[in-house]
Copies of this chain bind each other. A is one copy, B any other.
Amino acid sequence: MHSFKVLSAKFEEQFSTRQFPDQPHSLYDPAQYILGIGGKRIRPVLCLLGNELFDEIMPDAYHAANAIELFHNFTLIHDDIMDKAPLRRGMPTVHTKYSDSAAILAGDVMLIHCYEHINKVNIRIRTKILSVFNKAAREVCEGQQMDMDLEGTPPEQVNYTDYVNMIALKTSVLLAASLQMGGVIGGGSEGNQEHLYEFGKNVGIAFQIQDDYLDAFGDPEKFGKQQGGDILINKKTFLLLKALELCTPAQKQHLHHLMETNPANKVTEVLQVFHDCRVDEWAEKEKEKFSQLAFEHLEAIAVLSNRKQPLKELADYLLTRQH
């Protein structure tokens, strides 16, 4: 049994060798660039942890983990183009450093490369691995499109269930699928794989609620981001959507006014409304609900409870962070 930290180092050791051919470097350098600017490698390590829940880590887990991390970085490159994001992990995004065209193509070739790794997985389980991987891959695209569709929708017209579904697709299904692929490789039963998937999915949703909460109410010193960054850009978050549902007509009008006029004290004022309609308390409960669901699924996996320790620790770490 290994901790997240140990597995992360093991993963990085083999992943940090150059993934792509040299030429044409105008194609492969942008792809290699995004891999080089870091990231916590949570998803591939989840795959290793999912494997180790049931059995010793097999080479297949690294093949799948490599595919997963490449896929995740492919989505970052393409999402950054769509979002016109200038920075990623404090560094220029691929399309900013190179060009939109280079970024589109580098993403494409990374996605293609994922399947090179999957093609190395033992033939006995490859159909299943590709199928779990592809379902998640498709759903991540669906989530990204749904997110873009929501951009044009006024926040009070966004259905909360649709929003949770979008968040799950965009951010949680890949975490879930990473664990499940590990479970398949480790030889976990279908039922145990399901629980593992649901554990990952619910941790992902709880994490996103926490992320929204910290952006609004977190200590900016610890969180490392500007407080209220989401509020400033009128981002649709769990907090905003629920606040619009919970607040009085007068509060709603005030919120709309703040979002339209962007006054200097916008963050303080919006936070005041959030406090007044108790959306902060709601968010803590909502996060707790999804966390609990996650841990119930982890509990239900039929292996000795000490085997679950690294996953439990990781989830605890992710869901109690203040940073």
Which residues 214-265 of A have a CB within 8 angstroms of B?
A: none
- Selected from B105, B112, B127, B145, the residue in CB contact (under 8 A) with A105 is B145
A107 closest partner in B (C-beta): B108
CA distance A207 to B251 in the complex (A): 68
CA A131 to CA B120, docked complex, whole Å: 10
Q: Is the CB of A109 within 8 A of B24?
A: no
A201 at the interface (CB under 8 A from B): no
Given known A-B contacts A115-B134, A119-B131, A138-B109, A78 and B102 have beta carbons under 8 A apart: no
Residues 67-102 of chain A, each 1 if its beta carbon lies under 8 Å from chain B, else 0: 000000000001001100000000000000000111
**Which residue of chain B lies nearest to A136 when distances are taken between CB atoms in the complex?**
B112
Which residues of chain A have a CB within 8 Å of any CB of chain B? Answer: 23-24, 26-27, 78, 81-82, 100-102, 104-105, 107-109, 111-113, 115-116, 119, 123, 126-127, 130-131, 134, 137-138, 141-142, 144-146, 148-149
Bound complex: CA of A146 vs CA of B115, how far in Å? 23
Q: How far is the CA of A161 from the CA of B298 in the complex (A)?
A: 59
Nearest B residue to A30 via CB reads: B145
New A-B pairs, 20, CB < 8 Å, besides A26-B149, A81-B104: A24-B142, A24-B149, A26-B145, A26-B148, A81-B101, A82-B100, A82-B101, A82-B104, A82-B105, A102-B148, A105-B141, A105-B144, A109-B141, A111-B112, A112-B134, A112-B137, A113-B138, A115-B115, A115-B130, A119-B134
Cβ B116 vs Cβ A134 within 8 A: yes
Q: How far is the CB of A75 from chain B (nearest CB, A)?
A: 8
CB neighbours (8 Å) of A109 from chain B are 138, 141-142
Residue pair B146, A24 in contact (C-beta under 8 Å) = yes
| Across-interface contacts of A27 in B (CB, < 8 A) | 141-142, 145
A27 to B78, CA, bound (A): 15
A133 to chain B, nearest CB (A): 9
Can you list 7 A-B pairs with a CB-CB distance of less than 8 A?
A27-B142, A81-B100, A107-B108, A108-B111, A112-B134, A119-B131, A119-B134
Neighbour of A130 across the interface among B82, B105, B119, B145, CB < 8 A: B119
Minimal Cβ-Cβ distance residue in B for A137: B112
Q: How far is the CB of A158 from the nearest CB of chain B, in Å?
A: 14
Q: Which 6 residue pairs across A and B have the least CB separation, nearest first?
A: A27-B145, A82-B101, A109-B141, A112-B137, A119-B130, A24-B145
Contact of A102 among B107, B130, B134, B145 (CB under 8 A): B145
- Determine the distance from Cα of A130 to Cα of B114 in the docked complex, in whole angstroms: 12
Provide the bound-state CA to CA distance between A201 and B108, in Å: 23
Q: What residues of B have a CB within 8 angstroms of the CB of A82 in the complex?
A: 100-101, 104-105
Identify the interface centre among A107, A115, A134, A144: most chain B CB within 10 Å of its CB.
Answer: A115
